[in-house]
Structure 1
Amino acid sequence: MRDLLITLIVLWILFKAVRRPAIGILGWVWISVMNPHRLAWGFAYDFPFAMMMAAVTVLGLVVTRDKRQFPVTPATVTLILFIFWMNITSLFAINFDQIYPLWSRVMKVLFMTLVAMTVLNTKQHIRWLVWTLVVSLGYYGVKGGAFTLATGGGYTVWGPEGSYIEENNSLALATIMLIPLLRYLQLTEENAWIRRGLVLAMGLCAVSAIGSYSRGALLAIVSMSVFLWFKSPRKLPLGLLMIILIPFVVAFMPQKWEDRMHTIQTYQQDSSALGRLNAWGMAWNLALDRPLVGGGF
């Protein structure tokens, strides 16, 4: 049933995308970020919906009469130069015979990013894009937060299998990045009930990140909270809310979560932390040794 429902939704978006490529981009973002097909168990699970959506969106970009104009700004020019340079450096990769899978994945995403910049050219388009991201990631953030509360934080929150956010650290990062977007919508939404729902979603996303048992997520959510507070026009109520909620959530989590977070202080004895530090050191040394072309994918 899920397979059929997802397929019907995708077919409807594909039909609309031929004439409205902006809808195709939103559909591509939804499939790529949320991975709804990974929530099914039949033929849809491995079906290349994202590739189909990208192909039809590019076709729509060619045939549509909608306004399409790539924005030439310092940021977009820098991005294009960066893409060009990644392809140049790939020719000098240390393991050239192994770069294709990652190179292909990155180039597909960046190509569709350029297409998105071309067709999403109004304020309403950008708002639709934000809502698409909020719905796509908010599903897992709200679900993960509710799961953490229902189980007393006794289990790790994971993302959908076979996706970019499957791993607990990746899902935690995504839900933390989502909170500022939820805050933006909450500040600009006119409907009071939707605003209340967005506030609830922000809280559950934070709980989901904590329930991931990711130490990086704990550091990130503290940093993000401080940043949000500095940017907020209503610092006092937001500050009071954080002062009340953060100790409550920490006290709610079980002892094994606290033990996990305390290992931040003893990272010298943790293989995971040491592995990351070694990776950073290796990347630094590689950059010094090959400053222009790096090591490749």
Structure 2
Amino acid sequence: MRDILLFVIVVGLVPVILMRPWIGILAWFWSGLMTPHFLTWGFMRTFPIAIVFGGATLAGLMMTKDRRGMPFTREMMMMWMLVAYTAMTSYFAVYPSAWSFWQHLMKILLITFITPILVHGQRRIIALLLVITFSIAFYGFKGGLFAISTGGAHMVLGAKGSYLSGNTYIGIAMIMVLPLVLVSARLFHYQWEDFGSELVRRFSTKIGLILYGVFWLTAIAILATYSRGALLGLLAIAPFLFIRMKRKGLMIALAFLGITVLGVTVPDRLMARWGTIETYEEDTSAMQRVQAWGVSWNMALERPIRGMGFRFTYMDYDWWITYANFEGTWEHVLSPHSIYFSLLGQHGFGGLVVFMTLVGFTFLTLNRIRRHAVRETGQIWLSEYAWAMQMGLIGYLVAGTFLDVAYFSLFYAFVALAIIMRRELEEAPRANETIQADKHSVNEPAQKPESATGPRFPDFVPKPDDLLNQPRPWFKNQ
């Protein structure tokens, strides 16, 4: 039954995407993050949903006029640099089939490149944010209920067979969207956006309350993954989330009541798992990571610019162990289990610099949006979501120390959203200009604000009329 329902949804979305290709972006991220086909048991498990959605989106892009020019931003430049750099390291890779993984990365980056072309305007941006948030929050809601019902006796995992099936993978994904769930709850509770639906307006407050519940269930699910990396990522963002919350006194009182009166405690299995962080020398899994990190570091020292290329872990053990600082009782090639050491081994120090520069530019852009959106344009939702994505990036960088997720599509969705949201900030009417315009009489047309004379945000191909009306260069402020 699930297979038939999902098949009907996929087939039904194709003509919609051809007519409105921006919906294909939403569908692609939904299928890639939530992986609904791995929640089925029949023919849809192997159905190429991402290819169908991606192909329909590209076809619709070719036919539609509802698109923008590709933004020429520092994040976009670094992504093109990443494309070129990984192509170079794939050419010099030690494993012959490195190109196959490079092609996989290009599929992710292709959608990242065209997302700012098709997604523009407040409602489309919020729709994309909600789709990304709910795709992962679904597992937080489900995992939180499972953890409570079982008393934390079992590990929370992602959909079996999917990219997020492992506990650490689903853990880092939930950490990245946890702040987004909180902001989405506020979006509905305070009705920052009018979705044009009377039904949504009527139940908006109730939807917000439900999402607050999903937020806490997701936090519980993260703990119940038993992932040490997820724990550290949650601890990194928890203080920022607490500061941002309201009713702090009530939360502290409830926590105190639960511990002292109700006797709520952390499950022994969970405490034992976390305790291995301090005694990592006695834990085989931790020592395997230390060994693999040393291998990647030594590879980067030998080939600091070219690296070993994608899939160097597919090489035989005798070659791989020559780069190790010590040899354990396990005799097999190990994954680097880290964003940073994975990049070092695959692309050398040069590749790590390119990737971290992309991360840094994205974080700074989100910080600018967070600081200026409310003051300049009055867009509370824009500032709040920028903050949430910043927190998600912090969690990603901390938890990613113990997991090789440098090519996680959710991270590149954040990059695309940072570009889009920056454009929204630059092109939105200034708050003071809107007030001035409201003071004009009906018979006297208001003066056109400067921000409406053309896109201040840099596009590769600005409209001719925009250039004629612009008093200053169109690439100003970059």
**Which bracket does the TM-score occupy, shorter chain normalised?**
over 0.9
Q: Distance between the aligned counterparts of 1:117 and 1:56, measured in 2?
A: 17
Task: Give structure 1 regions of 4+ aligned residues with deviation exceeding 3 angstroms.
Answer: 242-248, 250-253
How far off its partner does 1:178 sit?
1.0
Name the counterpart of 1:159: 158
**Is 2:273 the counterpart of 1:276?**
no
User: Larger deviation: 137-146 or 113-122?
Assistant: 113-122
Asked if residue 213 in structure 1 is aligned to residue 226 in structure 2, the reply is yes
Compute the displacement of 1:239 (Å): 7.3
Structure 2 match to 1:130 = 129
**Equivalent-residue separation in structure 1 for 2:286 and 2:169 (angstroms):** 16
> What runs of 5+ residues in structure 2 fail to find an aligned partner?
192-203, 311-478
1:77-92 superposed matches below 5 A:
77-92=77-92
Aligned CA distance change for structure 1 residues 244 and 288 (closer, same or farther; 3 Å):
farther
Structure 2 vs 1, CA of residues 290 and 134 (structure 1 numbering), >3 Å: closer, same or farther? Answer: same
Q: CA deviation at 1:251?
A: 4.6
Distance in 2 of aligned mates of 1:99 and 1:226: 41
**Which letter maps to 1:146?**
L
Letter in 2 for 1:199: Y
Tell whether 2:235 aligns with 1:222. Answer: yes
Which structure's CA Rg is the greater one?
2
- The answer to whether the 8 A contact 1:154-1:253 is kept is no
CA RMSD of aligned residues (A): 2.1
CA distance in 2, matches of 1:239, 1:85: 50
The Cα shift of 1:244 comes to 5.0
Mapped partners of 1:287, 1:226: distance in 2: 35
**TM-score (normalizing by structure 2):** 0.58
| 1:285 corresponds to | 298
Amino acid at match of 2:281: Q
Q: 1:294 to 1:203 in 2, by over 3 A?
A: same
Instruction: Give 1 or 2: higher helix fraction.
Output: 1
1:245 to partner: Cα distance = 4.7
CA contact (8 A) 1:94 1:296 kept: yes
The equivalent of 1:192 in structure 2 is 205
Q: Is the 8 A contact 2:171 2:227 kept in 1?
A: yes
Query: Percent sequence identity over matched residues?
Result: 35
Letter of the aligned partner of 1:21 in structure 2?
P
Deviation at 1:50, TM superposition (A): 0.8
Q: Is the 8 A contact 1:134 1:178 kept in 2?
A: yes
1:173 maps to which residue? 172
The answer to whether the aligner puts 1:110 opposite 2:120 as a matched pair is: no
SS of 2:165's equivalent in the other structure is coil
TM-score, with normalisation over the residues of structure 1? 0.92
Offset of 1:164 from its aligned partner?
1.2
Shift in alpha-carbon separation, 1:238–1:80, aligned structure 2, 3 A: farther
- Please say if residues 90 and 99 of structure 2, whose CA atoms lie closer than 8 Å, have aligned partners that are also in contact: no
* Structure 2 Cα separation of the partners of residues 82 and 100 of structure 1: 14
Deviation at 1:217, TM superposition (A): 1.2
1:237 match: 247
Q: Which residue of 2 aligns with 1:41?
A: 41
Structure 1 gaps of 5+ residues are none
Count of residues paired in the alignment: 293
